[in-house]
Amino acid sequence: MRHWMFSCKKIIGMISESMDRKLPLTQRMGIRFHLMMCTLCTRYQKQLFFIQKILRSGRKVSEQDEVDFGLSEEGRKRIEKYLNENTGEGKQ
């Protein structure tokens, strides 16, 4: 019997690899099982699929595009504040 539990590091690699080729059944099942329990890897997969979709469509993504990756409003504001303070934007 094969080992079904994969680490997050292994799952991330397998998710990325699955974008290029079809994985064996055991790996696909391992990914699905892991994603049922791990919200971070699930979020990673959603982000990767979103990026792939955008790249394949050829359209540009603007700041107004609504994309929900589960980041709270407070988290968004902290990131925006950090970027503004450390990238020179807002310093005029």
- Residue 69's pLDDT is what? 63
pLDDT for 92 beyond 50: no
Q: Provide the whole-model pTM.
A: 0.57
Domain count, the chain: 1
Q: Look at residue 63 and tell me if it is in a domain.
A: no
Q: Look at residue 2 and tell me if it is in a domain.
A: no
Q: Look at residue 49 and tell me if it is in a domain.
A: yes
Q: Look at residue 35 and tell me if it is in a domain.
A: yes
Q: Look at residue 37 and tell me if it is in a domain.
A: yes
- State pLDDT tens for residues 42-85: 999 999 988 888 888 876 666 656 666 666 788 778 888 888 88
Q: Which domain covers residue 75, as residue numbers?
A: 8-58+69-86
- Residue 3's pLDDT is what? 57
Cβ neighbours, 10 Å, residue 55: 9
pLDDT for 22 beyond 80: yes
pLDDT for 90 beyond 60: no
Q: Look at residue 64 and tell me if it is in a domain.
A: no
Q: Look at residue 75 and tell me if it is in a domain.
A: yes
